[in-house]
Amino acid sequence: MSEEIKLAANEYIKTRSNYLRGTLAEELSDLTTGAICEDSQQLIKFHGSYMQDDRDMRPTRRKHKLDKAYSFMIRIRVPGGVSTSEQWIEMDRLADTYGNQDFKLTTRQAYQLHGIIKSNLKQTIKDINSVAMDTIAACGDVNRNVMCTPNPYLSEVHATSLKISQEISDHLTPQTGAYHEIWLDGEKVESSKEEVEPIYGKTYLPRKFKIAVAVPPHNDVDIYANDLSFIAIEKDGKCIGFNVAVGGGMGTTHGDVNTFPRAADIIGFCTVEQAVDVAEKVVLVQRDFGCRTERKRARLKYTVEDHGADWFRAKTEEYLGYKLQDEKAYEFTSNGDTYGWMKDDSGHYHFCFFIEGGRVIDTPNYQLKTGLLEIAKAHSDIEFRLTANQNVLISNIDEAKKAQIQTLINQYKLEDGSTHSALRRSAIACVALPTCALALAESERYLPGLIDKFDPILNRLGLEDESITIRMTGCPNGCGRPFLGEIAFVGRGPDKYNVYLGAGHDGQRLNKLYREAVPGDDIIPLIEPLLEDYAAEKEEGEHFGDFVIRKNYIAATLRGADFHDNIAEEAFAK
């Protein structure tokens, strides 16, 4: 008798959910509690929301024997990162009306609202949909927000890449009527169940799935961190197709050698016309061969790692019914953003603002949120393009508007980053505390202060214009893509960080563990000598990540007597 395979718990939740319905509708109308049940906490992710609680308030509430301060985070999809002035204005309003009076620009070109209480959740999602944005598949075991290089400097190639990213997004959006029924008071559809999700089927994917499209030389969407990505190949100013990369991902678990970050492999090239089909077939291969027994091993990167990239290419080609072409030459130069005014080759202007930590907020000294709102209100026909480095680029501006916008930029002293060190301009911090349930340490609230301490050192060493990518996350899930930072800090416990060094400045090479569980106060003394060496010994044009690898600092540490955790060594050997 064959033994029944025990699947991961979420597989059963998906199976019995009737295409993501579960008991969500009933629970939303029960206002005797601000929470929802555990199954619903998993299901609501597919609808773009997470149940959270304010972790800062936990001790006080515990002391007074109160339940946790529950609220919901809502993630709003923005395929390719392109939103309108109207949508920006609505995000601002929703943050003030239902949220925490601020909103977050995420590392995947989406918006996030925090602090929405259960009784306001439905109205907030309705309002989001009323400005032609949605939240379905912003989270959950499905394809998430599809990213695309936001800077349209190569107009034609960019236009094609953006169009493809939006077509892929549309094609892979779940078809279930549950979203409309629950949030938009849509008619209940008596579905012919087996047909409702033609691509995903009733158990969707084994795990989240992420796609990005990059236009070289910018790797600002960090394609090597994605399950699937497309690298635009240009010839004579036109996009002739894409290199296809699979198997990237960041998430890992401290102490678990079976989990590791992985940089994607390029498996071939497809034409523009084939791209949506390729995306679908890669998703289908992962649907059919991805691990459904252990969620920690369920990402596509493990399917590629376990079977090999050649197997993955062959399987994809089998599903496609045709062969991919061989990869074409391309070059990335950085994974950061370019700030300030830019002009594309069709003559339009774009301006990239520096938004520290992606948090759009007013403070007594800096009216960032108000300033951006005033720009959106004054110019209804411009775009707000979110970047994967948590910044925003306003776009499609003609000569006349440029001057008017510059007046508002001056009035509100809006930052193009030029008053900051290049290190700060090249930083990413994930949300972490107080909203993220998984945070082991601070991140968004901590990194700016840490950079304050780095700045005088960089000035002293003449390194203030070196755009060293620095990334911090509150845990090893990797939401700020820390394993692609030239310097990275990954939360290990309260005020303790694992320190990683040596990623490629172009985002192609992962970094390596340098020191474990470093207390916050010890970070500067640990890194300062390396920066001094770098200032004294770097070669012309050499990036910090390349320098630490050339100097073998990390290998030396790995052999050092104080290195006692071989877990990371094994993981990073891959």
Name the residues that contact ligand SF4, by CB under 6 A.
Answer: 430-432, 436, 438-439, 443, 473-475, 477-479
Q: Which does 189 bind (CB under 5 to 8 A by kind): ligand SRM, ligand SF4, none?
A: none
Q: Which does 110 bind (CB under 5 to 8 A by kind): ligand SRM, ligand SF4, none?
A: ligand SRM
Tell the smallest beta-carbon distance from residue 55 to ligand SF4 (Å): 11
438 versus 524: smaller Cβ distance to ligand SF4: 438
73 versus 320: smaller Cβ distance to ligand SRM: 73
Active site residue 430: yes
Tell the smallest beta-carbon distance from residue 428 to ligand SRM (Å): 8
Q: Which does 474 bind (CB under 5 to 8 A by kind): ligand SRM, ligand SF4, none?
A: ligand SF4
- At 221 the three-state DSSP class reads coil
Active site residue 210: yes
- At 114 the three-state DSSP class reads strand
DSSP character string of 261-325? -BPPEEEEEE-TTTHHHHHHHHHHHHHHHS-SS-GGG-SHHHHHHHH-HHHHHHHHHHHHTSPPB
What would the 3-class secondary structure string for 513-545 be? EEEEEEEHHHHHHHHHHHHHHHHHHCCCCCCHH
375 versus 479: smaller Cβ distance to ligand SF4: 479
Category of 410 on φ-ψ map: left (φ > 0), alpha (ψ -120 to 50) or beta:
alpha
The two tokens of residue 543 are 């990036």
Integer Cα distance of 196 and 210 in angstroms: 22
Amino acid making up residue 265: D
| CB 354 within 8 Å of CB 393 | no
94 versus 431: smaller Cβ distance to ligand SF4: 431
39 versus 234: smaller Cβ distance to ligand SRM: 39
Q: Which of 118, 281, 430, 512 is catalytic?
A: 430
Active site residue 144: yes
Q: Which of 118, 210, 369, 481 is catalytic?
A: 210
Q: Which of 104, 436, 471, 492 is catalytic?
A: 436
Q: Which does 249 bind (CB under 5 to 8 A by kind): ligand SRM, ligand SF4, none?
A: ligand SRM
Active site residue 108: no
Residue ranges of alpha helices (H) inside 172-290 are: 178-183, 275-289
Closest among 505, 517, 447 to 480, alpha carbons compared: 447
Q: Which does 107 bind (CB under 5 to 8 A by kind): ligand SF4, ligand SRM, none?
A: ligand SRM
The residue number whose beta carbon is nearest to ligand SRM equals 251
Closest among 181, 83, 55, 202 to 126, alpha carbons compared: 181
Tell the smallest beta-carbon distance from residue 30 to ligand SRM (Å): 22
87 versus 274: smaller Cβ distance to ligand SRM: 87
Q: Which does 177 bind (CB under 5 to 8 A by kind): ligand SRM, ligand SF4, none?
A: none
Amino acid making up residue 155: S
Tell the smallest beta-carbon distance from residue 463 to ligand SRM (Å): 26
Tell the smallest beta-carbon distance from residue 139 to ligand SRM (Å): 6
**In the block, residue with structure tokens 């980053």:** 417
Tell the smallest beta-carbon distance from residue 482 to ligand SF4 (Å): 8
Tell the smallest beta-carbon distance from residue 212 to ligand SRM (Å): 8
Chain-centroid distance of CA 379 in Å reads: 28
234: phi then psi, degrees, rounded to nearest 5: -105, 140
Kindly list the distances between the CA atom of residue 66 and the CA atoms of 57, 61, 100, 114, in Å, as whole numbers in the listed order: 10, 5, 21, 21
Q: How many Cα atoms occupy the beta-carbon half-sphere of 460 within 13 Å?
A: 10
Active site residue 148: no
Beta bridge partners, 49, equal 74
DSSP character string of 45-69? HHTTEEEEE-GGGHHHHHHTTPPP-
| CB 48 within 8 Å of CB 135 | yes
| CB 340 within 8 Å of CB 352 | yes
208 versus 543: smaller Cβ distance to ligand SF4: 208
**In the block, residue with structure tokens 């009076």:** 101
Tell the smallest beta-carbon distance from residue 321 to ligand SRM (Å): 30
Tell the smallest beta-carbon distance from residue 480 to ligand SF4 (Å): 6
Q: Which of 148, 291, 352, 479 is catalytic?
A: 479
Q: Which of 104, 208, 385, 492 is catalytic?
A: 208
Beta bridge partners, 246, equal 228, 265
Q: Which does 75 bind (CB under 5 to 8 A by kind): ligand SF4, ligand SRM, none?
A: ligand SRM
The two tokens of residue 286 are 């992962």
245 versus 436: smaller Cβ distance to ligand SF4: 436
Q: Which does 281 bind (CB under 5 to 8 A by kind): ligand SF4, ligand SRM, none?
A: none
Active site residue 208: yes
Q: Which of 239, 270, 352, 475 is catalytic?
A: 475
Beta bridge partners, 143, equal 209
Q: Which does 473 bind (CB under 5 to 8 A by kind): ligand SF4, ligand SRM, none?
A: ligand SF4
Where are the strands (E) in 402-469, listed by range? 427-429
Q: Could you report how far apart the first and last alpha carbons of the chain are, in Å? A: 38
The residue ranges that bind ligand SRM (CB under 6 A) are 50, 52, 73, 75, 106-108, 110, 112, 144-145, 208, 210, 222, 225, 249-251, 299, 358, 390, 430-431, 435-438, 477-479, 481
145 versus 316: smaller Cβ distance to ligand SRM: 145
Q: Which does 210 bind (CB under 5 to 8 A by kind): ligand SRM, ligand SF4, none?
A: ligand SRM
9 versus 438: smaller Cβ distance to ligand SRM: 438
Burial (Cβ within 10 Å: 0-12, 13-18, ≥19) of residue 108: buried
Continuous segment of H or E residues that includes residue 38:
helix 38-46
Tell the smallest beta-carbon distance from residue 45 to ligand SRM (Å): 8
Which positions are catalytic? 75, 144, 208, 210, 430, 436, 475, 479
